[in-house]
Structure 1
């Protein structure tokens, strides 16, 4: 069956299933004529679902169990957003097998192989999170070997490793793939070099969780070359907890491919919820096709993107690609009288040579005077080549705001519950006023 017909049939089955057994959509769609939703083109007939709706009552987004094997609970993962309490995402047995299938497709697209030795450098988190668990599941379904760095934190037991221990583990196990958050991967590789070790077999960095600019990618490649791995593919991906897998590149700059279009639909929409024309940015929406646990339809992920539904010019795949990512929605705010895009601020600091990790904080100059001026502080965990002047110059050029720079340690920048998705910009003014 052609892909379009497969997707249309999957959407019709999903809508019928949700109307009968999904607590949220059964009510949310009560005034919608669902008989008119016959395929993907009819999705705009359904209202958009916001993240606030989901996090307010995540239990209502789980299909009611019906005794079938497809809906039996397999595992639970939690979102990692910093603006609300973690929300559970339920995987049924069907969903988990679909995740394994998606991991196979992701590996095919990005070039990961069964003979790879994967170093899972995602942190262990207090709640189960998709990144750490799914990297292990990917290795299992590929037949690859995996070693877990086990950074992060446990509030109950001493089961994690410090940075020097992770670096020594990688040197001893000689991985071919480093998989994790780019800022932490950079810290680990730098620690390997600092301790006199090498990583000669690394051929790929599989990174997600943070935006990676070309300048950051060049820094990572340069660092790996210094660690003895001169030919490294940097495979970026775009993920979301609600997906439980990632959108990946076939080659750098080709766009983030939907690996399983028969299970997921992606689009960019305008303020009225209608798909935007090709080449135009819009709000990023996703629709699950076939899930049996937590199910989301026309769900706003909170990003602004451009989506191309044509074949990829490099690999020919269909199914939708995110070809441009314009950051999170509503990321601009006034600092010292200037309108600053915090996404630009974050990428600017990350691209400065010598910055191992970072966080930017805007606060009042005088905490006791709510009318005092703003102050932008860039907190940096440095590499040996760090220069505070370079940070000041880069930020001033990008934002027209001159920052103060504070040097600190990487471990002190983020509390344990932010290690998976670091909050790189904090506005403390609302807490003071």
Structure 2
């Protein structure tokens, strides 16, 4: 079984927690009094970091939200007040994708970039990547952090990196073949898009040597039918990974693939809380992931509300790791769930139904609200040669059987819907309080 650091990945949980507490205390010593954002935040809350005596004392610290970090950036441009060191200490700047609002800039020191590489080392090794592999990064290499840190992780395990920036989809496929890529990193959506382009351009997917895909940016790789479809299209095994620009690469899927992802507990502390009350949820129940990173002292996040919904599982995995798991990966966003006629609906549940249909190339889901009533609308693009009316009717029926909801499905003309390369934003809410729409 491949490990990046077998000793710590299989350590008893008591030892893991002791390591976390040691790193947390060291982090607080570095940050307190030097980081303007957290010094003010803790002073306002009456928190003295030096008084921490127990691991459970972390619960006394206030939450951090992305909106706070964005506001701190706006008030003290260009990088904000969440910086522990002088600006000269930082050697890299990236930013969040901006798919949910104003992009947040994050800066890294050489030390924290090494830490990013270690985190990605866990991701790659757990997926079976070795020094013999050639890792193709199907990514634009713009300011969004995306797969930049994958380069560092691949270097640490000795694998070759093939950067895929500057090429369109068919060029990327040709370069995978010519350069003998064995691993591809991209979003789940883009993996399906590449397979679609291959069909359109009569490119034989059997001519490439890719055996492993590693996905991030959206939940698709742990949506059962999306995962299955990717693996069928590529004849390769796909692995999920979760992280965030402001947090780090925090979770990975192991080769056993138990239907979830492991948290890198040597580098992160996770709390899973009920979003409204802030109370801890028991193992096996769904809650919001609140995370503290332990290796990024220059721009830390401490008790950061990710908005991601997870289901924690503390039992040992068949892979031998004692790291906690999130069953089902990232289940969705706490602000994405909507109750439609008494049914709690998550985007991942809808995607799992839609991906049953190989004829559907792309889709867009809208929840419309009219006179306080929610309605589910699904737009789809289908591959040529399929009967639009038949696909529409079958999909409406499948959604009803799976979710006990009536959905209105419409078939859009080819090329109408956005085809995504990075994070896909397929779900939106439209309110019509007086017959006028707003989004």
Common fold, TM-score beyond 0.5? yes
**Partner residue of 2:296?**
291
**Partner residue of 1:217?**
227
**Partner residue of 2:95?**
78
Write the mapping of 1:56-135 to structure 2, written as runs, cut at 5 A.
56-58=71-73, 59-66=79-86, 72-125=89-142, 128-135=143-150
Measure, in 2, the Cα distance between the counterparts of 1:166 and 1:76: 26
8 Å CA contact 1:236, 1:252 repeated in 2 = no
Secondary structure (helix, strand or coil) at the match of 2:146 reads helix
Q: 1:92 to 1:333 in 2, by over 3 A?
A: same
8 Å CA contact 1:360, 1:376 repeated in 2 = yes
8 Å CA contact 1:183, 1:356 repeated in 2 = no
**Partner residue of 1:147?**
162
Which of 404, 411, 414 is 2:409 aligned to? 404
The Cα of 1:384 is off from its aligned counterpart by 4.8
Number of aligned residue pairs: give it: 403
The Cα of 1:361 is off from its aligned counterpart by 2.9
What is the TM-score when the length of structure 2 is the normalising length?
0.81
- For the pair 1:240 / 2:244, whether they are aligned, the reply is yes
The Cα of 1:85 is off from its aligned counterpart by 0.6
**Partner residue of 2:380?**
380
Measure, in 2, the Cα distance between the counterparts of 1:202 and 1:238: 21
Measure, in 1, the Cα distance between the counterparts of 2:311 and 2:139: 28
8 Å CA contact 1:249, 1:257 repeated in 2 = yes
Measure, in 2, the Cα distance between the counterparts of 1:375 and 1:269: 29
Q: 1:354 to 1:66 in 2, by over 3 A?
A: same
Which of 4, 9, 12 is 2:25 aligned to? 12
- For the pair 1:203 / 2:211, whether they are aligned, the reply is yes
Which of 36, 39, 59 is 1:44 aligned to? 59
Measure, in 1, the Cα distance between the counterparts of 2:421 and 2:51: 45
The Cα of 1:202 is off from its aligned counterpart by 1.6
Q: 1:408 to 1:131 in 2, by over 3 A?
A: farther
Secondary structure (helix, strand or coil) at the match of 1:427 reads strand
Secondary structure (helix, strand or coil) at the match of 2:176 reads helix
The Cα of 1:403 is off from its aligned counterpart by 1.5
Q: 1:183 to 1:381 in 2, by over 3 A?
A: farther
8 Å CA contact 2:92, 2:107 repeated in 1 = yes
Q: 1:331 to 1:398 in 2, by over 3 A?
A: farther
Deviates more, 1:422-431 or 1:371-380: 371-380
The Cα of 1:257 is off from its aligned counterpart by 1.5
Write the mapping of 1:331-410 to structure 2, written as runs, cut at 5 A.
331-333=336-338, 340-362=345-367, 376-384=376-384, 387-399=391-403, 400-409=405-414
Segments of 5+ residues of structure 2 without an aligned counterpart are 1-7, 9-14, 74-78
The Cα of 1:298 is off from its aligned counterpart by 0.5
Provide, for residues 200-236 of structure 1, a one-character-per-residue CA deviation record: whole Å limited to 9, x for no partner.
42211111222232222221222223xxxxxx22211
Q: 1:348 to 1:179 in 2, by over 3 A?
A: same
Q: 1:355 to 1:136 in 2, by over 3 A?
A: farther
**Partner residue of 1:156?**
none
What is the TM-score when the length of structure 1 is the normalising length?
0.82
Secondary structure (helix, strand or coil) at the match of 2:94 reads strand
Q: 1:21 to 1:409 in 2, by over 3 A?
A: farther
8 Å CA contact 1:305, 1:322 repeated in 2 = yes
Provide, for residues 29-74 of structure 1, a one-character-per-residue CA deviation record: whole Å limited to 9, x for no partner.
111243442353321111211222222224445323259xxx8212
**Partner residue of 1:414?**
418
Q: 1:23 to 1:134 in 2, by over 3 A?
A: same
Deviates more, 1:335-344 or 1:31-40: 335-344
8 Å CA contact 2:260, 2:327 repeated in 1 = yes
Q: 1:408 to 1:143 in 2, by over 3 A?
A: farther
**Partner residue of 1:229?**
none
CA RMSD of aligned residues (A): 3.0
